Structure 1
Amino acid sequence: MSPVAALRLPLAEDLGAFVALLQRLGVPHRVSEESGEQVLWVPDETLALRVRELYAEYPAGIVGSERLQLADPAGSAGSAVLARLLSLPVTALVLLATFAVALASWFGDNLQLVSWLTFTDFRVAGDYAYFLPLADSLAAGQWWRPFSPMLVHFGVLHLAMNSLWFWELGRRIEWRQGSLMLLGLTLLYSLVSNVAQYVFGGPAIFGGLSGVLYGLLGHCWLFQRLAPNPHFRLPPGVVGMMLIWLLVCLSGLIGALGFGEIANAAHVGGLLVGCVTGVLGGLLARRQR
């Protein structure tokens, strides 16, 4: 199903209230910037027609207790969820792949499968893991290794927290900047964070979406500072909380308390490259305005 452009409006026009209305109505949608316009996309032409009619009547959202229903009243809650996932294909695909790897590897216990997804291949002999040179793996055609560690998670809590944050941050970028942009940023942040962890931490078994999440956070944070938009407006205190958590991890306190080692270099690398893309994207959007 190809998305349909329901609205094309000038960048100067504030869509915040109308987008909030669509969210309250459970209408799957995303907003992107193209050729100096902001474009509101929905999954099909029927819904696009209803959105245009709604915007003609309520461009500034709904005031008071008035209630509307835009979606098909015969539709089920499951259909609404499916439609939303289809409108966010990259966000859904990354989460689906993450869940699949977590179950297949049983949260990292299946070392044979994990060894195919880690940054460097390894073999276990007794209590020791022996790592193979990355160059050998790449020469053998294992091109996925610089990216695939983001899919590996060690524990239910690790998976749950990372998945929730990827949904929260990834969908914002996919709504505003499109699916290809989110896919490119996710791969970029995964590459940079994994390389940073390997360079500063040495060969080890590490994984998770955390480095990508810090990249998405930095991107949304600085993009929003330079080119404000309702989709990138994070709840108050989120950036501060994530930065404080990063400092706590860097202090070594988490490892000292016995909760395992943290891939700090991946977090910092992801955050730095995310800030760079956020500044570049924000400046470009600001210039287009």
Structure 2
Amino acid sequence: MSSVAVLRLPLSVDLGGFVKLLQRMQVPHRVSEEAGEQVLWVPESISDDVRVLYQRFPAGDPDRQLDIPEQAPVARPGFAQQVRRSPVTALVLLASLVVGALTLLGDNLQAMSWLSFLPFRVLGEYIQFTPLADSLASGQWWRLVTPMLLHFGILHLAMNGMWYWELGRRIEARQGSINLLGLTLLFSLVSNYAQYAYGGPGLFGGLSGVLYGLLGHCWIYQLLSPNPTYRLPRGVLAMMLIWLVLCLSGLVSMIGFGEIANAAHVGGLVVGCFTGLLGGLYSRRKTPLN
């Protein structure tokens, strides 16, 4: 369905009320920012009607003068239905739970060594790591991504699981299961290698690098191609970025949260912003409506 720009207004003009009116009327639309202006896009077939509507109700219809039938509330899907709609999200979380049980959330070092970035063995109070080149030469390529399944403590697993459930379902609903799986593996690969390259051989893990990748992806994608699915609750982005800064400052480690894989977080965020840029530009070019 082709669309046209029906309004081009300065950024200082409050278009919120009129957008709410379009939402009440279930009119397909999108608002973008171009060359210092806000642009309203609608299907070409109704563009003249929308222009007339804006002339009559530039501030929307806050007093409900228009008789628009209220839509029946949509029933919130149950947990089982959400799992069926988000199989990759559910499988990644299930795998994290299973690995958490097998590794005793970091206490079973032998089990941890099966999935760690570098193979290792315990020698008394020391851990001896196998060089990366040797592990890859022996075909252990899974280690590049499997550290995302390792967690150190129930709080670590619970927090990462909660955020993956929140962000993963959004991407799976908008871009499909295959894309979510590909992004998850890519973000894990980049964040794990970033942590290894910055910190050297060590035992690290968790979904947090992937989470920052998903966050960056949704953030930039939403800026370029606004859509309801990637519209995160107010304050979530700021909170996650503030947490990243606190971790980078060393304050979080000082107050007893242990060592933080900061390079993994930054690496995940950077590559997530890049994929969000590519995805948002592609979506904007393919279909200007949401």
| Counterpart residue number, 2:121 | 123
Residue 283 of structure 1 corresponds to which residue in structure 2? 281
1:206 aligns with 2:204: yes
The residue number in structure 2 matching 1:63 is 70
User: Secondary structure of the equivalent of 1:115?
Assistant: helix
Runs of 4 or more, structure 1, over 6 Å off, are: 14-19
Offset of residue 122 of structure 1: 0.8
Report if aligned partners of 1:226, 1:283 keep a CA contact under 8 Å in 2: yes
1:242 match? 240
Give the TM-score of the pair, scaled to structure 2.
Answer: 0.74
Between the aligned partners of 1:18 and 1:138, the Cα distance in structure 2 is 57
Q: Helix, strand or coil: the match of 2:226?
A: coil
Greater displacement, 131-140 / 183-192: 131-140
Residue 258 of structure 1 deviates from its aligned partner by: 2.5
Q: Which amino acid aligns with 2:168?
A: G
**Unaligned stretches of 5+ residues in structure 1:** 1-9, 20-60, 72-76
Distance 1:143 1:11 in 2: 45
**Paired position in structure 1 for 2:189:** 191
Q: Contact 1:119–1:146 at 8 Å: present in 2 too?
A: yes
Distance in 2, Cα, partners of 1:17 & 1:248: 41
Q: Sort the Cα spacing of 1:17 and 1:166 in 2 relative to 1 into closer, same or farther, 3 A.
A: farther
Distance 1:104 1:239 in 2: 33
CA distance in structure 2 between the aligned counterparts of 1:104 and 1:62, rounded to whole angstroms: 55
**Deviation (angstroms), 1:81:** 2.5
Instruction: Tell me which amino acid in the other structure corresponds to 1:145.
Output: R
Offset, 1:82: 2.2
Distance in 2, matches of 1:276 and 1:83, equals: 32
1:24 alignment counterpart: none
Structure 2 CA distance, aligned partners of 1:197 and 1:128? 20
Describe the superposition over 1:66-103 as per-residue Cα deviations: whole angstroms up to 9, x where unpaired. 5676x9xxxxx9xx422321221110110000011001
Change (3 A) 1:223 1:101: same
Total equivalences in the alignment: 230
In the alignment, residue 236 of structure 2 is paired with which amino acid?
V
**How far off is 1:135 after superposition?**
1.4
1:106 lines up with 2:104 in the alignment: yes
Residues 16 and 229 of structure 1 are in contact (CA less than 8 Å); yes or no, is this contact kept in structure 2?
Answer: no
Equivalent of residue 143 in structure 2, options 145, 152, 158: 145
The answer as to 2:86 corresponding to 1:88 is yes
**Distance change (3 Å), C-alpha of 1:180 and 1:18:** farther
Following superposition, the deviation at residue 182 of structure 1 comes to 0.3
Q: Deviations over 1:215-234 (max 9, x none)?
A: 00000001000000000000
2:255 maps to 257
Q: Matches of 1:235 and 1:258 in 2, distance apart?
A: 29
Local SS of the residue matching 1:258: helix
CA distance in 2, matches of 1:258, 1:230: 38
Q: Which amino acid aligns with 1:271?
A: L
Distance 1:286 1:231 in 2: 15
SS at match of 1:116: helix
Other structure's SS at 1:123 match: strand
Greater Cα radius of gyration, structure 1 or 2: 2
* Equivalent residue, structure 2, for 1:40: none
Which of the residues 149, 152, 155 maps onto 1:154?
152
User: Which residue of 1 is the match for residue 167 of structure 2?
Assistant: 169
For residues 125 and 242 of structure 2, the distance between their equivalents in structure 1, rounded to whole angstroms, comes to: 35
* Structure 2 residues not aligned, in runs of 5+: 4-18, 27-67
Change (3 A) 1:128 1:278: same
SS in 1 for 2:70: coil
Letter in 2 for 1:83: Q
Instruction: Return the alpha-carbon distance in structure 1 between the equivalents of residues 238 and 284 of structure 2.
Output: 24
Residue in 1 that maps onto 2:15: none
Q: CA deviation at 1:255?
A: 1.6
1:46-65 superposed Cα distances (whole Å, 9 cap, x missing partner): xxxxxxxxxxxxxxx9837x
Matched, 1:233 2:231: yes
| TM-score normalised by L of structure 1 | 0.74
